[in-house]
Structure 1
Amino acid sequence: MSRRSSKIEFVGSQGVPLVARLDLPEGTPWAYAVFAPCFTCGKDWLAAARICRGLAERGIAVLSVDFTGIGESGGDFADSTFSSDVDDLVRAADHLRENFAAPSLLIGHSLGGAAVLAAAHRIPETAAVATIGAPAEPEHVVHTFGGRREEIERNGEAEVSLGGRVLHIRREFLDDISAQPQAERIRRLRHALLVLHSPSDETVGVENAQRILDAAGHPKSFVAIDGADHLLTDRADARYVATLLAAWAGRYARGSVPAGPA
C-alpha cells in the first residue's frame, strides 16, 4: 500500500504552535496512531520517519509530533518538561479526534515510550500502547546529562550536549521528571501493551523492558529487536519494527475507523 504525508499544526499545552507530520495510507486507514519520538528527537528523525512511513504503508495513519522547541515546533525547549510533553500528546490526540479520527494506538520511542505510557489513560479511545527502547522510569534520561545534573541543581539550569546539539535544561525539568508515578501508571494500564527493545541497547538497558512488563497486566507482549542500536539507525531495524507493530495492532487497534484491507 502506498502512502502520502502532510504537515499538521496545532496549539500545544503551553500555547505555542506545534508541528506534526501525518502519514496517511492511500486508502482509508484502518487505525489512527500518535507517535512520540525519542528525547530531543523530532518527527523527521530517521527512525521516527521510517517507522511512521512503514505503518502508513500497512494501512495505519500516524501523527508524529515535534515537541516544544524541537524541529519545526515553536517555543523554547528549556521551558518543556516530561509533563508538558505528555500534555502535548493529549493535544495531538485531540487534534486527530476533531479533524480525522481518534487514535486507538499510541507508540513511543525511548523517552517517548515513557510519555505514551503516561498519556494513555487520558486518551479514552486508546486500545493499544507500544514502546520502543523505553525506560521503565522517565528519570532514566538524566544519566545522559553526565555531570551536568549537579550544575543544573546548583545553578537552576545548564547547557547539556545531547545528540550533537547543545540544549538548556532547567531544574524544573529535573523536579518534574523525578516526580512521575510511572510504575503506578503501568500497573493501571488497561490496554494491550507491546514492548520492543534491543538486548544490546547501550543507552536504555533491556532490563527496563523487563521492569515494564513485570509491572503491566495482560495482554502484554515482548519482542527483542536483536542487534539494533538504541536509535534504530539501521533502516532494516526500523522496517522490522513497523512490520511488527502493524501486525500486532491489527489484533487490538482496529475499529476506530472504517476497516480497510485485511
Structure 2
Amino acid sequence: MQSTAVRFPGPGGAELAGRLDRPEHGPPRATALFAHCFTCGKDLKGPVHLARALTERGIAVLRFDFAGLGESAGAFARTTLAGNLADLRAAARFLEAREGGPHLLVGHSLGGTAALLVAGDLPAVRAVVTLGAPADPLHATKHLVPTEGPAFRIEGRPYTLDPGFVADLRRHDVASAVRALGRALLVLHSPLDRVVGLEHAARLYQAARHPKSFVSLDTADHLLSAPADARYAAGVIAAWAERYLPEAAGPGPEPAAVTVRTAAGGFRTEIAAGAHALVADEPRSVGGTEEGPSPYDLLLAALGACTTMTVQMYARRKGWPLADAVARLRHERIHARDCEGCGDGGG
C-alpha cells in the first residue's frame, strides 16, 4: 500500500496527525476511517494490518491520532468522548475532500463506541465495524485508578483527565444510536477480552437492526497484540465490507503490469498485478512471517500454471475430454552445483 503522512485541522484548532493508506494501483473504490482505542494510536498493529487488508481490496484508509495522543497536537488532559466525536467528524471531512466518503467506519474499544455514535452524522457511511467496543461509555471508568490530585492510572500509566470526562460519558446513549444506525454493523469481540467483556458485544448486537453480524475473535486479547489475531480481524473486516461498499470503477489509465513493494524491517512483500493483490514472504526460519509464498514458490506456481493452462488449451483444441490438468513441482537450492561447469568465458 502507499502510505502518506497527513495533517488536518481538528475542531478546537489543534492539528491532527494521520496516515492515509491508498491502494497500490489507481484511485480507491471506497474509503474507510479508523478510530483507535482510548490512550492508543494510529500505528498499533491492529490499524496497520487493517489498512493493509483493505488497501489490497482497493479501499483507502485514514487512521489518525485523537487530539493529545501520538503525533496530534492538543492536550490529552482535555480529552472527552464528545471531543473524540468532533475529531472523527473533522477526519471525515478531510477524507471526503481528499478521497470521498468515508464509506466504512471502523472503531476499536472506545473508538468503536465513538464510531457508533458519530455514524449518523456521516451520510456517506454504509457500514460500521466495532472491535472490542463497550456498549456503555461509562465502562471506561472501570480502568481509571485514582491517584493524588487529578491524575489517574490506566494500565499502569499515569494520565491527567478533564474533570468533566466522566460527566460527558453519561451524556451519550449508545443503545439508541445503535437502534437508529441504519447501516450494516459488524461486531467483533474476543470471549477472553479482560478489558471489555463479551456481554458488551451481546448488548450491541441485540440493539442493532439487520443487517448485522457477529464474529468471535477466539483467543485474541483486547489490543490484538498477536500479529495472527490482528491479521485475522483485518481479513474478516475486509471480506465482510465487500458486500456494502461501492463497486470498483471502470479501468483507468494503464498501470504498471506488476508493482512490488517490500517495507523496511522484514520480507513481507505486497504485489499488485493488474486488479489482483497478493502477498509474498519468507519462512520464519529466515526472518519472515510466512504470510505468503516465497519468491521460489511463486516461480513454481507461475511455471505450473503456465503448464496446466497450456495442456487444457491443447486438449480443448483437440477435443479431448480432459477434466483436470495438474502439475506438481518442487525445487532444490544447490547453487554450487548449478554453476560447476561455468567458466570465465562461458556463454
- TM-score, reference length from structure 2: 0.70
Contact kept in structure 2, 1:29 and 1:259, CA below 8 Å: no
The residue correspondences of 1:39-54 to structure 2 (distance < 5 A) are: 39-54=38-53
Q: How many angstroms does 1:254 deviate by? A: 2.1
Contact kept in structure 2, 1:133 and 1:198, CA below 8 Å: yes
Q: How many residues align?
A: 252
Partner of 2:60: 61
The residue correspondences of 1:87-236 to structure 2 (distance < 5 A) are: 87-147=86-146, 158-163=150-155, 165-236=157-228
Any gaps of 5 or more consecutive residues in structure 2? 252-274, 277-347
Please give the root-mean-square deviation of Cα atoms over the aligned residues, in Å: 1.7
Separation in structure 2 between the aligned mates of residue 203 and residue 75 of structure 1, nearest angstrom: 26
For residues 35-82 of structure 1, what are the alpha-carbon distances to aligned partners after superposition, in whole Å with 9 as ceiling and x for unaligned? 001101110122222222232233221100100100000010111210
Give the counterpart letter for 2:223 in structure 1: L
SS at match of 2:107: strand
Q: Which residue of 18, 22, 30 corresponds with 1:20? A: 18
- TM-score, reference length from structure 1: 0.91
Contact kept in structure 1, 2:15 and 2:73, CA below 8 Å: yes
Contact kept in structure 2, 1:193 and 1:220, CA below 8 Å: yes
Separation in structure 2 between the aligned mates of residue 164 and residue 94 of structure 1, nearest angstrom: 35
Give the counterpart letter for 1:30 in structure 2: R
Separation in structure 1 between the aligned mates of residue 15 and residue 137 of structure 2, nearest angstrom: 25
The structure with the larger Rg is: 2
Give the counterpart letter for 1:77 in structure 2: F
Partner of 2:249: 258
Contact kept in structure 1, 2:80 and 2:162, CA below 8 Å: no
Give the counterpart letter for 1:99 in structure 2: R
Name the structure where helix makes up a greater proportion of residues: 1
Identical-pair percentage: 46
Q: How many angstroms does 1:98 deviate by? A: 1.1
Separation in structure 1 between the aligned mates of residue 65 and residue 141 of structure 2, nearest angstrom: 20
Give the counterpart letter for 2:153 in structure 1: S
Any gaps of 5 or more consecutive residues in structure 1? 152-156
- Change beyond 3 A, Cα 1:259–1:71: farther
**Higher RCO, 1 or 2 (CA under 8 Å, sep at least 6)?**
1
Q: How many angstroms does 1:6 deviate by? A: 0.5
Contact kept in structure 1, 2:31 and 2:104, CA below 8 Å: yes
Separation in structure 2 between the aligned mates of residue 83 and residue 253 of structure 1, nearest angstrom: 28
